[in-house]
């Protein structure tokens, strides 16, 4: 019978060994074999699965934590059992980690042991009968259309950096880009003549997104008037920092935060909030869900369907706020 991992079950499973496996030294060195296997696994995720370096790094960190836990139990990754995994995840819950954190760790372990089985390093996958803990899927944070307008108008476009920020915000909201797709844009990916932008999303999947009038107008203004002033030497990157280098996710995150404060937006704002706003506003205006799926680059329609729930929640809040019997 498949074992369903609720937080209560995780806690129970770990009670026998809750004082075991707590690494005395988080930097306990791994064996040469384990380092080699983890490196091969990371290479597979990057090359075959097309996962982002950030995701691969997170998986690597999770697996090293588990390997050090096993070392305290005098065993190794290739000899781990289902009980070892359950107890490890249970200890994390007892230590205050959320079910979501346990689910993320289990995902790394499942991928790793599936790879080890494929490579014939193990005969049985110890994760095969373990289900991820049941976690509620929170509705994504979004903005109203008036809040988006205020945010887009926040940059001072009389400066090169302000013009760049306005163009980036317009593209982020107008095209529903991921922040990594935005900062990774090259000049030749934007076709002003055809009004299209070409991006490569998760899994290195290519998609073409139409440019709205506002996004295209501000991107052209930036390209003509600001980018030449920021360019130092040569660069294929569309959006440049003051030093002439490609913008980073972290730098743009700080810019979004600053512009959000200037616009009087008090929610916990991030670049991804504008991607959510893009999708939610399309659904609010009766866009076909499959079209929204294509624009966002979602592999499954079920991922996109979350925005129908966001739209319903928005309608309910409007009804409660404005209807006399709300």
User: How is the chain split into domains, by residue range?
Assistant: 3-131, 145-322
C-alpha 199/C-alpha 74 separation (Å) is 47
Q: Where are the beta strands (DSSP E) in the chain?
A: 3-4, 130-131, 190-191, 196-200, 206-210
Instruction: Please tell me the CATH superfamily of domain 145-322, with its number.
Output: Intergrase catalytic core (1.10.443.10)
Answer for the pair 42, 56: CB distance below 8 angstroms, yes or no. Answer: yes
Q: What is the pLDDT of residue 213?
A: 92
Q: What is the pLDDT of residue 25?
A: 39
pTM summary value: 0.56
Instruction: Tell the CATH topology of 3-131.
Output: DNA polymerase; domain 1 (1.10.150)
Kindly list the catalytic residues: 178, 202, 272, 275, 298, 307
Q: What is the pLDDT of residue 137?
A: 57
Answer for the pair 38, 57: CB distance below 8 angstroms, yes or no. Answer: no
Q: What is the mean pLDDT of each run of 10 residues along the chain (326 residues)?
A: 43 41 53 92 88 88 93 92 89 76 87 94 90 59 87 96 97 91 94 91 83 94 96 93 93 94 88 87 81 80 66 53 54
C-alpha 30/C-alpha 76 separation (Å) is 9
Q: What is the pLDDT of residue 261?
A: 93
């Amino acid at each position: 019978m498949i074992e369903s991992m609720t937080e209560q079950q995780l806690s129970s499973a770990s009670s026998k060994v809750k004082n075991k496996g707590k690494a005395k030294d988080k930097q306990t060195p791994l064996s040469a074999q384990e380092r080699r296997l983890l490196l091969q696994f990371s290479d597979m995720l990057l090359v075959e699965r097309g996962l982002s370096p950030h995701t691969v790094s997170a998986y690597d960190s999770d697996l090293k934590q588990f390997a050090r836990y096993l070392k305290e139990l005098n065993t190794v990754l290739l000899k781990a059992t289902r009980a070892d995994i359950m107890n490890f995840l249970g200890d994390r819950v007892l230590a205050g980690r959320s079910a979501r954190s346990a689910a993320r760790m289990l995902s790394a372990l499942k991928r790793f042991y599936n790879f080890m089985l494929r490579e014939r390093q193990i005969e049985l996958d110890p994760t095969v009968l373990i289900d991820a803990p049941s976690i509620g899927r929170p509705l994504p944070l979004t903005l109203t259309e008036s809040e988006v307008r205020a945010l887009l108008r926040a940059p001072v476009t009389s400066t090169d950096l302000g013009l760049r920020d306005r163009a980036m915000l317009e593209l982020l909201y107008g095209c529903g880009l991921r922040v990594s797709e935005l900062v990774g844009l090259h000049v030749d990916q934007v076709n002003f003549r055809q009004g299209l932008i070409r991006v490569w999303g998760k899994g290195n999947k290519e998609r073409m997104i139409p440019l709205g009038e506002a996004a295209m107008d501000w991107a052209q203004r930036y390209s003509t008037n600001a980018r030449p002033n920021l360019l130092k030497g040569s660069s294929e990157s569309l959006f440049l920092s003051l030093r002439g280098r490609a913008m980073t996710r972290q730098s743009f995150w700080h810019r979004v935060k600053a512009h959000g404060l200037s616009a009087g937006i008090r929610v916990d704002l991030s670049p991804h909030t504008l991607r959510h706003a893009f999708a939610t506003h399309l659904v609010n205006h009766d866009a076909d869900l499959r079209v929204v799926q294509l624009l966002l680059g979602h592999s499954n329609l079920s991922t996109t369907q979350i925005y129908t729930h966001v739209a319903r929640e928005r309608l309910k809040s409007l009804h409660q706020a404005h209807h006399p019997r709300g």
